[in-house]
Every structure is written in C-alpha cells, then in structure tokens.
Chain A
Amino acid sequence: MTVMLVLLVTVPLAMTLLSLVLPRRVTAGATVVAGIASFGFAVALVPVAEHGTVHAVGYLRADALSVVFVLATAFLYATTSIYSVGYFGEQARETRRAGGGAERQFRRYSMRFYVGFNAFAWSMLCAPLVNGLALLWVAIEITTVVSALLVALDRTDQATEAAWKYVLIASSGLGIALLATIMLYYAGARVLGDSYDLAFDPLLAVAKHLPTVPVQLAFGLAVIGFGTKVGLFPVHTWLPDAHAEAPTPISILLSGALLGTSFYAIIRYYQIAVGTLGPAFPRTILAVFGVLSLLLAALYLFGQRNIKRMLAYSSVEHMGILAIAMSFGAPLALAGLLLHVLGHATAKSTAFMGAGIFVHKYATKELGKMRGALNALPWSAPLFLIAVFALCALPPFGIFRSEFMIVFGGIQSAHGVIAAALVVLVTLAFFGLTLTTTRVLSEPAETAIPRGEPSVWMVIPMVLGLGALLMIGVHPPAELTALLQQGAAELAGSVR
C-alpha cells in the first residue's frame, strides 16, 4: 500500500511537469486521467487506513484522518479537471477559429492554468500525507503561493487586487503558523532531545510530558496562523475576494479542498495540545473561533449580491461548523466533522460549478441579473439549487447527516448551548443562502435568453458531485463509515 502513497504524491507532480510541454488538448485530457487516477489511489488507501497507519519512504504517513482529507481533495481534483475541459472549451474553439495571436495567447494562458492547477492539487494532496509538522507547514505554504498566482491568472484589476490581498494575508498567517511550528519544536526538544524532525507519532507519544506554556502558545498561534488559510473570523478577509475573482475551477479547489486541508493542520496541533493540556483549553479556543465565524458568515450571506462571494461566505460558515464540531470532542461529533469535510467538499464544489456556468451564460457575477436561469439552463440551474439546499443541510444529503451527528454529539457532551447556537445560526444561514437564489433563478427573465447548457463537460461533474453527496447522506459505504469511526477515534485520542 505504500505504493499508493508514493503514487499520490508523484502522479500530480509528474502531471505538473508534463503540462509544461504537452499540447493544450493532450494536457487537458491527461489532467483528467491524473485526477481520476489520484482519486483511485485515495480510495485504495481507505481499507488500509481503517486498520492503522501506513508509512512510506520515511517522509510519508497516512492514517484514517489524513485519508479523509485526501479523499476530498482527490475527488475534487478529478471532477474539477473534467469541469475545466468544458470551462475552456468555447474559448479554445473561438481562438482556434481566430488563429494567430489570439490562439497563441490562449495557449499560453491554458498552459499556465494547467501547470498551476496540477501543482495546486499536488500540494494539497501532499499536505495530509507528509509525516511531520515542519513538512506540513511547507506543503501548506506551497498551496498558498501556487494558488495566489492562479487567483491573479485573469489579469483583471479585481483579480490582481484579490491575489495581492490573498498572498499577503495568507503568507503573514503562515508566518504565525511557522512560529507555532518552532514553539512546538522547542516544547518537543525538552523531551525528545535537541535535534529531532517533528515527525508526528513520536511527538504525540510524548505529548503528556511536554511543557505546557510553549504548547499553549504553539496551539494558539497555530489556530490563528493556519486559521487564516481556513478562513476563520477575524482572519478570513482574503477569502471572499480570492474565491470570487479566481477562475471558477480554482474557486472550486480553493473552497472545497484548500480550506479543509488547512483545517487538517489545526487538527494535528489539536491532537498534540489535547495530549499536553487536556481538552478544556484547545476546545474553548476552537469554540470561540467557530461560533464567531459562523455568526459573521450567516450575517454576510444576507443581501450578498455576488454569487461567488455568497458561496465564499458559505465556506466561512462551514469552516466555523468544523471548528465547533471539534470543540465538542464527543466521538459522534468528531465522526460528523470528518463526514462534514467530505460533504462540504462535494456540495460546495457542485455549487461553485453551477455558479461558474451562470457567470459564463450571463457574463456577470451579479446574482440579481441571473433571472430565468431555471428556464435557460435546464440542467445546471436545478443542480445548483439542489447543491445550495444540500449546503443548508437539507436531507437526504451528506451535510444533513454530518450536521445532525455534530449537533447530537454536542448535546451528548453537554455542550447544549453551543449546539443550540449552531442550529440557530445554521438556520439563519439557510435563509441567507436560499431566499435570494431561489427567487431570482425562478423569476422569468426580462429579455429572452437562449436555452441550453454551455458544455456537457461542465454538467457531468455536477452530477458526480451530487451523486457522491447523496450516497454519503443516504447510505455511506461500510468502508467509509469504518474509516470515519477510526478517524474519530484517532482524533479523540483513544488510538495510539
């Protein structure tokens, strides 16, 4: 099984390099193959990871927790690569017809996109699979720099502004996270000796004996630092800009995969902090950040007129839910957290894919101008609405199941007040997200809009996403349930 681990971190890297040399259409096709293959490798890891930890070549390590995050990222890598075929299809045909300079320019643009896209997916797959907190930081910093360039790809004024804000804020956040890494190194050096490599298992094994003040400091700094990338309030400010201005395939990966991957880093610090400090301190910090993020996002969802910004604030909401779920600490809530990672990835990616089709069709990001979409886009508009309802935790989709588990776990672990706040705020977000969208999309259009989907390649991944979401909501496969339970047990500290 170590082969799968190695393949997961080498195939996307190889694809990144190939994107530099292959012709445009071959690159697009090969990226789809690489994406689907990566998802296959991730699925192959599931049966192994539910029984224990896999190591490979010294620097790679996978347990149930990391496999959950790898699954989410690899799934989006596959579906988004399919979506990208359709996303650029029309532009490719037009520039080919125009020929000359336009075609050359588009080829260069497409090359940059695919190099960045594959590198971005590679760095996000590496982050949960590297063994050690130092390498984890390195991987997450790489996700930042690669995705910042991708946000700026369209070269509009807004895209440049968003990219600058993103790279500056996220890098500063990661600077704080680096300080956290070093403080934890200091704490570990008291027990493990002056020179060690921050590998995860030894650190967790001695967590009980680490000095408390440096670990408190490291955990606080890690939540703020990596929290910047997760999009926790009040360090979320780059998020709506970057999500709205990036090309849609990148928005999908940013929202569905990157935020979760960054949250994975917080989970690792949480495990060590609980070992050293006991549960009270880390859980309180996470509860505060979680509730505030959820509150802010729920309020911003009302009256949001830009469709991609709206989905971005919904991401802040869901990251807040993850933080709250972790603060509950009950095994049921933790299993719900891991399911929520998968549910959010599939639902949010589907919603963003739909939004990308609307933006393409109506040539605007203004939600108010997308009247009549249900009529004009017979497939993607209904699929988008279903995804939005799924994001609001309506049954029978995966997020309903995961949020139910989280709330129930919260009540079980005597966090009734926070669980109640969670329910109220999620309901508030439900209205914010659905009221405008359903009304606008179903209203008749003022001017007649030709009926038809821009590309079938953009609809297929939406169907795949909703299918997966339905599956984990109605009847998750036994293997997946076992994986989530194992992950929750690791997170609760009952597996060593």
Chain B
Amino acid sequence: MLHQAIANAPTVFEGTANTIAVIVLLLEFGMLRAALLRAQVQLYAVQSLAVSVLAVVVAAGRGIPELYVLAGLSFVLKAVIVPIVVLRLLRDARADIAGSGALGVASEVVLSIVVAAFGFFAFGALGITSKALPTTSLSLSAAVILVSFMLMILRRDVVSQAIGFFSLENGISMASLVVAAGMPLILEVAFLFDLLVAVVVFGVLMRVHHGQSNSLSTVHLDRLRG
C-alpha cells in the first residue's frame, strides 16, 4: 500500500511545476479584487515572472534549451516592459480603481471559483497528456484563462480589462508550455512581439479614453447599442 503510494507520488519536477501553476492561478484571483491601478499592474508583473520561471523549470527539467531564451524574453517583455509602459501611459490617472466590480468582491470570487473549477475539471477530462509537464498544469491554465475572462467581464475599468487580456495571454503561454513546449522559437517570438504591439495599442486607447472622460471607468461606455 505504502509502496504503491510512493510510486504514484509526483516527482520533484512535477511538484514544482504544479506549485508554480497554482501560484499563477492565485495571482489571477488577486487581480479580481485589486483596488489600486499600481497593484493591478504589479500583480500582472509577478504573474508574468511566475510563468517565466515555469518556462525555466521546463527548460532545465526536460532539456529544451530554447525555452531559456523564451523565458528570458518573456520576463523582459511581460514582467518589465509591459508594466512600465502601462504605468507610464497612465501616470496622470487617479490611482484608485476600487469599486469598479459589477458584483461585490465576495460574489465575484465565489463565481470565479465555480468557473475555474469547471475549467479545471473539463480540461482534465479531455485526456490530453504531454511529455513536458503534468496534465494538472494544463487544467490549471484553463482555469487561469477562464478567470481572466471573468476579470474582463466583472471589472468595469479599462486597466482591469486590459490586464485581464494580458493575463489571458499568460494563461495561454502556460498552456503552450504544457502542450507545445517544442514550438520553434521564432513562432514564440512572433507571438511575444504581437503581444507587445497589442499592449502599446491597449495603452494608447486607455490613454485616449482617460483623456476624453477623465476617468478609468467603463460604466458610461453604453452609448452605442441596437
């Protein structure tokens, strides 16, 4: 009995990978309730750092040297440049984005837990396995992706919505570490470059929005309908 349990226990590699994936998910939940513009961006930076670390773990554990390059690039881009760009573009905005939730914080979190659980178990049931990372990491990234959608839906301020999109991309990066770890570097770099362009455009539009309405809220963006 004990022997069997030991045989089934996850290896150090799997344990580390899953722990990092759980941290990424918890940070996503943190964004759901962040009350300050700066806190929101910092949470995203830390999440990007966690995803980069996961890439290093896979690179070392599975011997895929290209992933070191990817980890380095994604760290520089997503944990350093993107947060700086967003904060610079919004340097004259008010710091406070609390109270932009469509529901109370508690209901938002409970709802998101339900959604995350759905994503986790639904992806777990698909039977997709990979050599690079345990399937649990894939299920966790599905949960991250769904919670990032909740973030975009439930928070009514441009910063949270933009960060929701950026963290959606983090969730997809994590999923791609599981199922597409061998993807050629050039494609990964193309994706990252694309993200950078998107970030700049999001930033510019956030700035235009702020310049026009002097707020970060999206509540009054309801003129166009029908």
Contacts and interface: CB of A to CB of B under 8 A. Distances in A.
Contacts of A182: 172, 175-176, 179-180, 183
Interface string A37-76: 0000000000000000000000000000000000000000
Interface in A279-330: 300, 304, 309
A165 B205 contact: no
Contacts of A214: 126, 128, 179
A197 interface: yes
B188 to A, nearest CB: 9
Interface in B190-215: 190-191, 194, 197-198, 200-202, 204-205, 208-209, 212-213
A446 interface: no
Contacts of B197: 141-142, 145
A200 interface: no
Interface stretch (A149-157, A255-263, A387-395, A422-430): A149-157
Interface stretch (B32-40, B47-55, B70-78, B216-224): B216-224
A167 B158 CA distance: 11
Contacts of A241: 224
Interface in A328-367: none
B180 A185 contact: yes
Q: How large is the interface on A (under 10, 10 to 19, 20 to 34, 35 or more residues)?
A: 35 or more
Contact of B224 (A142, A189, A244): A244
Contacts of A165: 221, 224
Contact of B187 (A134, A141, A157): A134
A172 B168 contact: yes
A26 interface: no
A157 B223 contact: yes
A148 interface: yes
Interface in A122-165: 134-135, 137-138, 141-142, 144-145, 148-149, 152, 155, 157-158, 160-165
B133 to A, nearest CB: 12
A138 B212 contact: no
B205 to A, nearest CB: 6
Contacts of A198: 187
A163 B205 contact: yes
B87 to A, nearest CB: 19
Contact of B179 (A183, A196, A197): A183
B145 interface: yes
B122 to A, nearest CB: 10
Q: How large is the interface on B (under 10, 10 to 19, 20 to 34, 35 or more residues)?
A: 35 or more
Interface centre among B162, B179, B204 (most CB of A within 10 A): B179
B179 A213 contact: no
B208 A179 contact: no
A167 B172 contact: no
Contacts of B172: 175, 178-179, 182
A167 B202 contact: yes
Contacts of B226: 300, 304, 309
Contacts of B57: none
A335 B196 CA distance: 39
B184 A197 contact: yes
Contacts of A144: 198
B182 interface: yes
A164 B145 contact: no
Interface centre among B162, B181, B205, B224 (most CB of A within 10 A): B224
B19 interface: no
B44 interface: no
Given A178-B191, A186-B128, A195 B184 contact: yes
Interface of chain A: mostly helix, strand, loop or mixed? helix
A245 interface: yes
A171 interface: yes
Interface string B129-147: 0110000000000000100
Interface in B157-179: 158, 161-162, 165, 168-169, 172, 175-176, 179
B152 interface: yes
Nearest to A198: B187
Given A141-B194, A182-B175, A148 B165 contact: no
A157 B191 CA distance: 32
Interface string B146-157: 000100100000
A22 interface: no
Nearest to A178: B172
A410 B180 CA distance: 39
B223 A141 contact: no
Given A134-B187, A138-B194, A165-B224, A155 B179 contact: no
Contacts of B127: 213
Interface of B: 126-128, 130-131, 145, 149, 152, 158, 161-162, 165, 168-169, 172, 175-176, 179-184, 186-187, 190-191, 194, 197-198, 200-202, 204-205, 208-209, 212-213, 218, 221, 223-224, 226
3 tightest CB-CB pairs across the interface, nearest first?
A194-B182, A186-B179, A195-B182
Interface of A: 134-135, 137-138, 141-142, 144-145, 148-149, 152, 155, 157-158, 160-165, 167-168, 171-172, 175, 178-179, 182-183, 185-186, 189, 193-198, 213-214, 217, 240-241, 244-245, 300, 304, 309
22 contacts: A137-B191, A138-B191, A145-B198, A148-B205, A158-B224, A167-B202, A168-B165, A171-B165, A172-B149, A172-B165, A175-B165, A178-B169, A178-B191, A179-B175, A185-B179, A189-B180, A194-B131, A194-B181, A195-B184, A198-B187, A241-B224, A309-B226
